[in-house]
Amino acid sequence: MPSWPKETKYITHPTTRVDGPAKVTGNARYSSDIQADGWLYGMILRSKWPAATITAINLAPALKVPGIKAAVLAPALENNSDNFIVRFYGQELAAVCGTTKDACLDALRAIEVTAQPKEAFVVNENEAMKDGAPEVWAGQSNVSPGRPREQGNVDQAFGECAAVIEGFYSTPVQIHNPMETHGNTISWTDDGVTAWASTQGIGGVRNSLAGALRLDHSKVRVITDYMGGGFGAKFNAGVEGVLAAKLSQAAKAPVRLMLTRFDQALAVGNRPSSFQTIKMGALADGTLHAFEGENYGTAGVGASADAGGGGGGADIPMPYLYKVANSRVTQSAVMLNAGASRAFRAPSHPPASFGMECAMDDLAVKLGMDPLEFRLKNDPNEVRQREYKIGAEKFGWKEKYQKPGSSPGVVKTGVGCAGAAWGAGGPSKNTHGEAQINPDGSVEIRMGVQDLGTGTRTVIAVVAAEMLGLKPEQITVKIGDTNYPPGPGSGGSTTCASISPTVYDICTKALQQLQTQTGVADASGDNWFAACKKLGVTPLVAHGDWIDGLSTKPAYGVQFAEVDVDTETGLVTVKRVVAVHDCGLMIDTLTLESQINGGIIMGMGYALYEERVMDDLSGVVLNPNFETYKMPGIVDVPEIEVVLLNMPERGVIGIGEPATVPTAGAIANAVANAIGARVGSLPITPAKILAALGKVPPVEKT
């Protein structure tokens, strides 16, 4: 059985990003920076109707705009442009490419679209569920039938409880908003297609492009040197990728088609909403005994084919982390005339955590128990039990926790906590790579994975340096190209656990081959250059694969939050977050800390600011840009203290998703603890705080 070295020089230490200098100097070329020879801009024409039948599209006027080189129909309309049904505002209709951005804008305006708009459409979950609601898919109910799952005897169990709460907890549709929008630069020549894609899965883009363009996989090459974030929304080529390829074919030139921020909000994914009705009861000793949960949410027109392995649906795990002997759970999904969901960082977990952790606190209050004690009583997981104890100590829970609403003054302080699990990830066995060891001692590791900002390059360099006895900066890491040995898409916190054992295997084999070829018994470290020199003129290439025993899943975590709530303005300030996460064997503690910070800050946005707002009258996303879709800014960011549980014997674990799961629940509980009233609806805006305090009427969502 392979095992990681016990004494390490780089693993479990902080290492600065190997591509940091490229990123801070502007040398890193992102997909949107690619300037292929003779490149053209591409832009997409989208439906401005949420529901309509397109009866004709005339692209000819666009071609007359100076500078325009090609115009094509969206794939779904190619044989169908006289009878195409639009189901959401923003659905792709056509695309143009030209020599300037402004020419493309002019051309989009010139395209003539004839349509029969439908007056009836629906963009609101509660409206969509009503009898007689406009059907998103004709002849089909907007609501999937609920699937009750029951264990034990729920109805009887509630009668046995000492305390029962009933609560309603809801979460909005959240938009991924990576800083670089979706898109590609694509060149289609006689030799095939080259796509510089902003993606978290070069293999997925290659396969989906090849499928859509009816090309052999071997005729499509995908390159992603640098990409500006994905968070689950960028696995496959998408309509925008296929359109860029078709434009390139038609114009006989490379086309850069990056979505606008508006496009991004309309059509390329989001986190489904949730509306959770929870009834939960506990016995007098605080043991959870009965649970009944009903949830519905929307994935828009349906979970998208571009979701990248699913995870974009509206189901959430209930009762999440806790074992309840008697439980009944019913889930249903609601269709809307709105863009489809896609996987979004820890799909379905943040809403599940929020609902259940709020219910936990509400029931603890009713029982007269400390919410932390209540969790320790009912959380079956040993790792989280330890994490709660460590976190409580560091946070000062005992000193800080007061009865809800007992904080004096206008600005009230409150504390809350919540837990997370992420078990869906785990390593991908389909990870391969190779090392080229050159006679001058330089090392190149080549793997068909990509770095979506988590530090993939750096992890590869650190592991290789450790195994070969070199420094990380001596390792040249080549990734983000389908010409390299294949690896998995970066999603589900799987990348680190997939690549680390693979690099281990590559390096072990490289050392073995080096020994065979040169006779040097241990070529690592001090002997490295002398051994490599003995290779003569031919570099050595060693292949490696993912191997078992060096990585694992799942990951657990808990977070504690302290907030100030101004009871006159309703403003919430998150002062401090203590996050305790188990990370197995930590490869790079510096980038790991960044991942956890990032998860918390994104979770904070979910808790307090973020919500896609749809317009009932036009069906458009009303807040498609950052001045209206609010995300945490640097001023909002609290003091974050991260505690990393070092458990090297478990092997490597990914941390991207668990870090964002419990934040919203912890903040929501801290707010409830501060003001003595529950705001059960995210985002927790000042208006909702003031309504919960009875100072303003509640905001009615129609």
Partner 1 sequence: MKKPEPEKFGAHSRRTFLKSLGTVAATAATAQVQSVAAELEQANAEKVIGPGAVPVTLNVNGQTLKFMLEPRVTLLDALRNYHDLTGPKEGCDRASCGACTVLMDGLPIYSCQKLAIEAQGHKITTVEGLVQGGKMSNVQQAFVERDALMCGYCTPGFVMSVTALLNFNPHPTADEVKHACSGNICRCGTQPHIIQAALQVAGVKVENKTEVINA
552 makes contact with partner 1 (CB under 8 A): no
Smallest gap from residue 642 Cβ to partner 1 (A): 4
Amino acid identity for residue 81 in this structure: S
Of residues 69-128, which lie at the interface with partner 1 (CB under 8 A)?
Answer: 100-102
Q: Residue 98 forms beta bridges with which residues?
A: 41, 68
- The CA–CA distances, whole Å, from 215 to 77, 211, 452, 474 equal 20, 7, 27, 38
Considering only residues 563 to 582 of the shown chain, the ones binding partner 1 according to CB under 8 A are: 582
Does the protein bind partner 1 through residue 586 (CB under 8 A)?
Answer: yes
Tell the burial category of 209 from Cβ atoms under 10 Å away from its Cβ (0-12, 13-18, 19+): buried
Indicate which single residue of 60, 626, 695, 701 sits in contact with partner 1 (rule: CB under 8 A). Answer: 626
Q: Using CA atoms, how far apart are residues 171 and 99, in angstroms rounded to an integer?
A: 43
Sheet (strand 84-86) strand order: 84-86, 52-58, 112-117
Q: Is 178 in the site for partner 1 (CB under 8 A)?
A: yes
Burial of 502: CB neighbours in 10 Å, binned 0-12, 13-18, 19+: buried
Piece of the chain touching partner 1 by CB under 8 A; list 70-78, 84-92, 146-154, 179-187: 179-187
- Does the footprint of partner 1 cover residue 16 (CB under 8 A)? yes
Site string for partner 1, 440-479 (x = CB under 8 A): ------------xxxx------------------------
Q: How far is the CB of 314 from partner 1 (least distance, A)?
A: 23
Residue 199 as a binder of partner 1 (CB under 8 A): the answer is: no
Residue 530: how many other CB atoms lie within 10 Å = 12
Candidates 11-19, 107-115, 352-360, 615-623 — which segment interacts with partner 1 by CB under 8 A?
11-19
Using CB under 8 A as the binding rule, whether residue 36 contacts partner 1 is answered as: no
Query: Which one among 312, 554, 598, 665 touches partner 1, defined by CB under 8 A?
Result: 598
The angle formed by the CA atoms of residues 8, 14 and 18, to the nearest 5 degrees, is: 105
- Number of chain positions touching partner 1 (CB under 8 A): 74
Query: Taking a C-beta distance cutoff of 8 angstroms, is the pair 172, 610 a contact?
Result: yes
Kindly identify the residues of this chain, within the stretch 247-276, that bind partner 1 according to CB under 8 A.
Answer: 258, 260-261
Contacting residue, 239, 247, 602, 621, with partner 1 by CB under 8 A: 602
Interface residue with partner 1 among 164, 215, 541, 631 (CB under 8 A) is 631
Q: Does 30 bind partner 1 (CB under 8 A)?
A: yes
In the DSSP assignment, the letter for residue 629 is S
> Torsions phi, psi of 454, nearest 5?
-80, -25
- For the residues of 320-356, what is the DSSP string, one character each? TT---SEEEEEEEEE--SSPPP---SSTTHHHHHHHH
In the complex, what is the shortest distance from the CB of residue 592 to partner 1, in angstroms, rounded to a whole number? Answer: 9
**Cβ distance to partner 1 smaller for residue 24 or 60:** 24
- Residues 382-401 binding partner 1 (CB under 8 A) are 386, 390, 394
The dihedrals phi and psi of 344, each to the nearest 5 degrees, come to -140, 120
Determine the distance from the C-alpha atom of residue 393 to the mean position of all C-alpha atoms in its chain, rounded to a whole number: 31
Q: Assign 458 to helix, strand or coil.
A: helix
Closest distance to partner 1 from the beta carbon of 466 (Å): 17
Among 8, 20, 381, 696, binds partner 1 (CB under 8 A): 20
* CA–CA gap between residue 108 and residue 110 (Å, rounded): 5
Bridge partners, residue 44, by sequence: 95
If binding is defined by CB under 8 A, does position 6 make contact with partner 1?
A: no
User: In whole angstroms, what is the distance from residue 667 CA to residue 274 CA?
Assistant: 18
Site for partner 1 in 218-237 (CB under 8 A): 226-229, 231
Q: Compute the least distance from the CB of residue 227 to partner 1, in Å.
A: 7
| Chain-centroid distance, C-alpha 233 | 7
Applying CB under 8 A, the span of 126-134, 360-368, 535-543, 638-646 interacting with partner 1 comes to 638-646
Which of 179, 530, 622, 699 is in the footprint of partner 1 by CB under 8 A?
Answer: 179
- For residue 447 the two structure tokens come to 């793997």
